[in-house]
Amino acid sequence: MRALFLLTACVVCCGFASASEARQNQSDTKWGFSGGGGAAISPHYSGDDNYAVSALPFARVSYGDIFYVSVPEGANVKVYEKNGLRAMATAKFTFDREEDGGAPFRIAGERTQDLIGLGDVAATVELGGTLRYRAGNWSLTGGARQAISGHDGFVGEISAQYSHSIRGYGPPIRISAGPSLKFGNSRYMNAYYGVTSIQSEASGLDTFEAAGGLYSAGLALSATAPVSNRSALFLQGSLSRLTGDARQAPLVRDRGSPTQAFGGLFWVYTFGQDTRRGRPSGARLSGRPSY
């Protein structure tokens, strides 16, 4: 998790530098910075049946709709856009899963002992791309990335989302909901769900070699409520079910649950012209292959 502190610090410093430059320059600027934080409840690791509450920072730097980098969305650069279709190059940061159950942002919930003997999964950089198609209130997104460190696997996701604004009770509240599917190759699956013979002896779990494929299917819901012209509250939740070899893994079968839930509430303030208003993603933490 040390990588999270470093990445947060870098993004915050870059963002405040951009915001300062924007204040000094009275002309329009495309640079934007969003900062804030909140709290989330999530499993300690992917497949756990016990939950922890964590206090999370959020920071995001953007340049128009061309580029943005944030915790936890990573870095994204637009390479193509036409007729509702957008292609982006993506570098995503996947934070470590610690064998001792450590989580520096945890503020409630006991440290899990389930991972002892399985070793750490190091922090990871994933490089790849994302395609997104928008038509009216609907959007369809697909992404795939190859890790160059950490779990060293190939991962991806496909999601659909419907968005709608509720008006008539003050500022409009934006509601979004939709399904998602996640997949990974065997290298990725074994990093998080596999058990080698050495790990079996150390952990007491049966040996298990996981095959690649679809490993999670779920639904996500988010709501954006403006607080002022430059700040907003974001409420997020998701419910998913591990599938395939992730569901059959001894770690999940014997010590956890295939049903996974997430909930979070964030406050974000935007400087400059951040066109996305710095919305945090609904990714998980505590050993998940994402934030």
8 confidence band (pLDDT: 50, 70, 90):
very low
More confident residue, 209 or 72: 209
Give CA–CA dist 290/73, Å, rounded.
9
Helices (DSSP H) in the chain: which residue ranges? 2-24, 186-192, 197-203, 244-248, 250-255
Give CA–CA dist 227/234, Å, rounded.
10
Q: How far is CA 114 from CA 111, 176, 203, 219, 270, in A?
A: 9, 34, 8, 26, 40
Which tens digits make up the pLDDT trace of 78-93? 999 999 999 999 999 8
pLDDT given at position 290? 35
Taking 90 as the threshold, does the pLDDT of residue 107 lie above it?
Answer: no
Tell me: cis bond preceding 72? Omega within 30 of 0 counts.
yes
More confident residue, 26 or 111: 111
Q: Within 10 A of 268 (CB to CB), how many other CB atoms are there?
A: 24
Segments of the chain assigned E as strands: 31-43, 51-63, 67-71, 74-82, 85-94, 106-108, 124-135, 138-147, 154-166, 173-184, 213-226, 231-242, 259-272
What are the phi and psi torsion angles at 188 (to 5°)? -65, -50
Determine the CATH number of domain 2-272. Answer: 2.40.160.40
More confident residue, 105 or 231: 231
pLDDT above 90 covers what percent of the chain?
Answer: 68
Taking 90 as the threshold, does the pLDDT of residue 219 lie above it?
Answer: yes
194 confidence band (pLDDT: 50, 70, 90):
very high
65 confidence band (pLDDT: 50, 70, 90):
confident
20 confidence band (pLDDT: 50, 70, 90):
very low
Which tens digits make up the pLDDT trace of 112-158? 999 999 999 999 999 999 999 999 999 999 999 999 999 999 999 99
